[in-house]
Amino acid sequence: MKGEKRRSVRLNQSLWISVIAAAVSVGIGVWIVERLPLEGALLIGGAVIFMVFSVVHAEFISKETEREIMSAGMEQSRMQYNLVYDLPVPFVLTDREGKVITLNREFREKFDKKTGKRNISQMFQELHKKVFPGEGENRVYQIGIDQDIRFRVEAKSVEGDTEGESYIAFYFFDVSALMLYEEDSRKRGLVAGLIYIDNYEEVIEGMEEVRQSLLLAVVERKIVKYMQDLHAIIKGFERDKFLFVMEEQNFQKMKESRFSLLDEVRMINIGNSMSITLSISVGVNEDNYPDTYKSARIAMDLALGRGGDQAVVRNRDDISYYGGKTQKVEKSTRVKARVKAHALRELMLTHDRILIMGHKNPDADCVGAALGVYCMAEILEKEAFLVIDRFCPGIEPIIKELDKADMGDKIFVSNEEALALKNGDTMLVVVDVNIPAMTECPELLNRVATTVVLDHHRQSRETISNAVLSYVEPYASSTCEMVAEVVQYVSDKPKLKAIEADALYAGILVDTDNFVTKAGVRTFEAAAFLRRAGADVTRVRKMFREDFDHIKIVSYIINHAEIFLDEFAIATQYGKGVAGATILGAKAANSLLDIQGIRGSFVLTALDDMIYISARSIDDVNVQVIMEHFNGGGHMMVAAAQVKDKSIPEVVQQLKQLLTQMKEEGDL
């Protein structure tokens, strides 16, 4: 309306221009009369008549014009109001505080119960003053009225007629149907998956041929039937490998059952002394089908790297694990070890310098495996160095023996020295760890082009991704066992120094808790090889004899342990000023398993600003899955984690809540 008034004023001003022109003409006529009386008189007379006519005309026209303009403006305003009021989209106009100025018919019909409220923030909690658009801004919100009705709200800042005055216009678009279509489309999207039989060769070994074929047929039938019930397409592409494709909505049913196929196949028994286990991998939510299949392949590598008998779901970068309740069966064949050994040998021959790196806070398995790789480098006449913290209490007995052999100062280098030694012909071998952040010098992983990983821990989502050769076997008792096998294929008659053989043997001894935990046939074969190579059992035993004070600390930890849920032992210690506190915690965790009825033990060690958790179990509790909740990992029966910036009571409480939850859900 104010705009119409301004246009009326401008028109009136233009009408009075003729009156001004007539007045000017009268003035000119007076000036001419003095020189030309007749002509001047005629000009004055005509100008007066024109001026009177102009005044009368201006008065009449201006009032009529103003009346017409105001009428047209009012008509336009009514039209605009009617257009907004009848707009088929709910609309609300508010001031900058959210106070409702006007709303249309569609809004009243859609939100009948809310129209009595005078502020939009009272109508919708999501639309409060803090999220309103600023001057000249537009914003979009998503609000839900109930479970099935969703609106996309577009808010626009609108200028008022007065300078500095502004309002906010809210438009509500019902996207409920669109979201239902999107959800339906997502549910009908295809996911790709793989199923591998983990231990088919080991299971059929020793079975009658007729039973072998029958066993495979029963397993295949069980898999196909399970997938058919989920309306999946499944196809076997090798004797023990299958590819399946299904809609995502059916995959959700598969997840809800927690991949019950794993348990169903494990229970098959037609004379086989060993249970068959599966590994299942699924790729979800990728941009296209090739990427979905690639994601499933990556997930399968993780499942196998973690020991099999589990399902791994990869949703872009998010990874979920299911199962993994049984111990990985040791493979009797050494074919893989031989193949990896030959590949490692070829890589070593093409590089002049070899850096061997372990994990932070190294243990006997770490330094023993590193010395085994150092022995390979010696056999191949290559320069090699160990990037390991030689001052760690856990490896002190081995370091003393190395110093006696005049090797300690020659083979160990610091992180800075290792980075300086790196050149174009340098190769990096990482032992006893496959998580980048846990290596002694993570920066070295990005500096060296050729990286090899030798490890026996189950893989997690964070792995060394740039390795040209990765030999990760969770079935192995220790990395020393793996290295002892590999070194036998590097040379026909490998010669180990006494300290190298002792260190490898000590690594196996410590990680198996004196051949009690995870010791298989190949473990004893590796120990026998090391014994023939010069390892002295008595010397190793003397090397790792306990300090009396340490025995008292371990006894104190055990004495103050708490039994939780009648089957879990939880103990704590403060490691400040205690040499090798984390190792003592691990020993205490091992000893707690000797208590009757204890299925799992957890010892928490506070050291500096970190809580170190050592987790152990007998056989049916997967402590690795438990430690993964604390961003740790390890094996099914031996695992660990590190928690930063938390107190022992906080971590104990978190652990108890997790154990309680997992037991209630049937995961323990």
CA distance 282 to 311: 8
- Location of structure tokens 């001031």: 95
Closest of 642, 174, 218, 590 to residue 438, by C-alpha = 642
- Location of structure tokens 């997992």: 662
Contact 543, 397 (CB under 8 A): yes
Average pLDDT over residues 118-144: 83
- Location of structure tokens 């030694």: 421
In the numeric block, which tokens belong to residue 544?
């790792």
pLDDT digits (tens, 9 = 90+) for 297-326: 988 888 887 778 889 999 877 888 887 665
Tell me the sheet residues that pair with 92. 103, 170
Q: Is the predicted pLDDT of residue 60 greater than 70, yes or no? A: no
CA distance 434 to 635: 13
189-323, CATH topology level: Alpha-Beta Plaits (3.30.70)
Hey, how many other C-beta atoms are within 10 angstroms of the C-beta on 537? 13
Q: Is the predicted pLDDT of residue 532 greater than 50, yes or no? A: yes
% residues pLDDT > 70 (the chain): 84
* pLDDT for 1: 46
Burial (CB count within 10 angstroms: exposed 0-12, middle 13-18, buried 19+), residue 429: buried
Contact 279, 307 (CB under 8 A): no
In the numeric block, which tokens belong to residue 499?
């300290």
Torsion angle of alpha carbons 56, 57, 60, 65, nearest 10°? -150
Where residue 579 falls (left for φ over 0; alpha for ψ -120 to 50; beta otherwise) is beta
CA distance 527 to 519: 10
pLDDT digits (tens, 9 = 90+) for 495-512: 899 999 999 999 999 888
H helix or E strand, kind and range, residue 551: helix 548-559
91-181, CATH topology level: Beta-Lactamase (3.30.450)
Contact 535, 504 (CB under 8 A): yes
User: What are the angstrom distances between the C-alpha of 295 and each of 283, 299, 497, 643?
Assistant: 5, 6, 45, 30
Hey, how many other C-beta atoms are within 10 angstroms of the C-beta on 73? 17
Torsion angle of alpha carbons 178, 182, 185, 190, nearest 10°? 170
Closest of 562, 561, 568, 596 to residue 668, by C-alpha = 568
pLDDT digits (tens, 9 = 90+) for 443-463: 999 889 899 999 988 777 678
pLDDT digits (tens, 9 = 90+) for 196-255: 998 888 788 777 888 888 888 899 999 999 999 999 999 998 888 999 999 988 898 898
Considering the chain, what is the average pLDDT of its residues?
Answer: 83
Question: Has domain 335-543 been given CATH number 3.20.20.150?
Answer: no
% residues pLDDT > 90 (the chain): 31
* pLDDT for 53: 66
* pLDDT for 573: 92
Average pLDDT over residues 580-597: 89
Burial (CB count within 10 angstroms: exposed 0-12, middle 13-18, buried 19+), residue 113: exposed
* pLDDT for 374: 94
Strand pairing of 233-238 and 241-247? antiparallel
549-664, CATH topology level: Diaminopimelate Epimerase; Chain A, domain 1 (3.10.310)
Coil, strand or helix at 642: strand
* pLDDT for 348: 93
In the numeric block, which tokens belong to residue 164?
């500095």
Q: What is the DSSP letter of 207?
A: S
CA distance 369 to 623: 24
- Backbone φ and ψ for 351, nearest 5 degrees, come out as -130, 145
> At residue 488, what is the residue type?
Q
Q: What is the DSSP letter of 258?
A: T
Average pLDDT over residues 74-78: 54
pLDDT digits (tens, 9 = 90+) for 366-402: 999 999 999 999 999 999 999 998 888 778 889 988 8
* pLDDT for 405: 82
pTM strictly above 0.85: no
N residues, the chain: 668
- Backbone φ and ψ for 278, nearest 5 degrees, come out as -115, 155
DSSP E strands, 99-211: 100-103, 138-144, 150-159, 166-174, 190-197
CA distance 100 to 107: 12
Hey, how many other C-beta atoms are within 10 angstroms of the C-beta on 128? 13
**Over the Cα atoms of the chain, what is R_g?**
41
